[in-house]
Amino acid sequence: MKITVFNGSPRGKKGNTNFIVEEFLKGAMIAGAETENIFLARKKIIGCVGCFDCWSKTPGKCIIKDDMDELIEKFINSDIAVFATPLYVDNVSGIMKNFMDRMIPIMEPYFEKDENGECRHKKRYDKYPKIVVISNCGFPEQSHFQVLKLLFRRIARNMHSEVIAEIYRGEGEILQIDLLMMKPFINKYKKVLRVAGKEIVKDMKFSGKTKEKLEKPLIPYRYYISGANKSWDKENGN
Ligand SMILES: Cc1cc2nc3c(=O)[nH]c(=O)nc-3n(C[C@H](O)[C@H](O)[C@H](O)COP(=O)(O)O)c2cc1C
């Protein structure tokens, strides 16, 4: 099984998103998956110009010469594609949005109706990877991921695929905090992430128990909120 992560954080390897991705991939590798972790911030991805040449003059190929050909090939040749992004203004990061816009060559222009009678574009390829979403954000509650949850369901539908698992991490800014008292909480979460990685390879989904553990706050909201406010005070010299 090939799992490819497309990471849209501008912080790349050092980001909180990648902190989650790395543990998840460790579990997946132990379970036998071949994995690749791609940092989109290190790739050249120019914004879509909306010419639709990829649907007419050069079918399946974008006219822009950058790293997207290589990325699309990696996407199509994966069994599971992981969209990994920090939450930016209740949405995906700009880097991730650019990447997703440039994926339209993977579809044909022609319309068809899906099983619910709703239009989408026809397939260009026989098979598309299943989708896993990984995100983290600065606020603590799960409700901040409402838009992302719906967005990736819609994207998967458009891509003739499905979202098989999601990891949404509130309180993301403490994942890499250098505080001894935080270590046990973070280590516990890392263990859950590795279990999640193993489960996705074995069962193509997370167990109910794992889902529940993944959504638990790392620390109680009130401590996180007061800690965050104190740290901004310090940052601003108050
Ligand atoms: C431009 C910008 C917009 C953000 N918007 C949100 C947001 O809407 N909600 C939220 O909870 N956190 C928001 N954050 C915080 C990030 O999600 C958080 O810092 C996250 O840990 C970054 O992940 P990364 O290290 O992988 O980039 C935002 C951060 C930036 C820089």
Nearest CA to ligand 1 atom 7: 89
Going from the C-alpha of 136 to that of each of 83, 92, 111, 142, 205, the distances in angstroms are 12, 10, 34, 10, 19
Residue 141's φ and ψ, nearest 5 degrees, are -80, 155
Predicted local distance difference test score (pLDDT) of residue 204: 98
Predicted local distance difference test score (pLDDT) of residue 174: 96
Our answer on whether the CB atom of 185 is closer than 6 Å to any ligand 1 atom is no
Bridge partners, residue 197, by sequence: none
Our answer on whether the CB atom of 137 is closer than 6 Å to any ligand 1 atom is yes
Our answer on whether the CB atom of 9 is closer than 6 Å to any ligand 1 atom is yes
- pLDDT tens digits, 88-129: 999 999 999 999 999 999 999 999 999 999 999 999 999 999
Please identify, by atom number, the ligand 1 atom nearest to the C-alpha of residue 15. Answer: 25
Our answer on whether the CB atom of 148 is closer than 6 Å to any ligand 1 atom is no
Our answer on whether the CB atom of 86 is closer than 6 Å to any ligand 1 atom is yes
Our answer on whether the CB atom of 11 is closer than 6 Å to any ligand 1 atom is yes
Where along the chain do its domains lie? 2-235
State the distance from the centre of ligand 1 to the C-alpha of 201, rounded, in angstroms.
29
State the distance from the centre of ligand 1 to the C-alpha of 16, rounded, in angstroms.
10
* Structure token pair of residue 67: 């790293």
**Domain covering 2-235, topology:** Rossmann fold (3.40.50)
Predicted local distance difference test score (pLDDT) of residue 79: 98
State the distance from the centre of ligand 1 to the C-alpha of 90, rounded, in angstroms.
9
Q: Identify whether the C-beta of residue 187 lies closer than 8 Å to the C-beta of residue 19.
A: no
Please identify, by atom number, the ligand 1 atom nearest to the C-alpha of residue 17. Answer: 26
Whole-model pTM: value is 0.98
- pLDDT tens digits, 51-92: 999 999 999 999 999 999 999 999 999 999 999 999 999 999
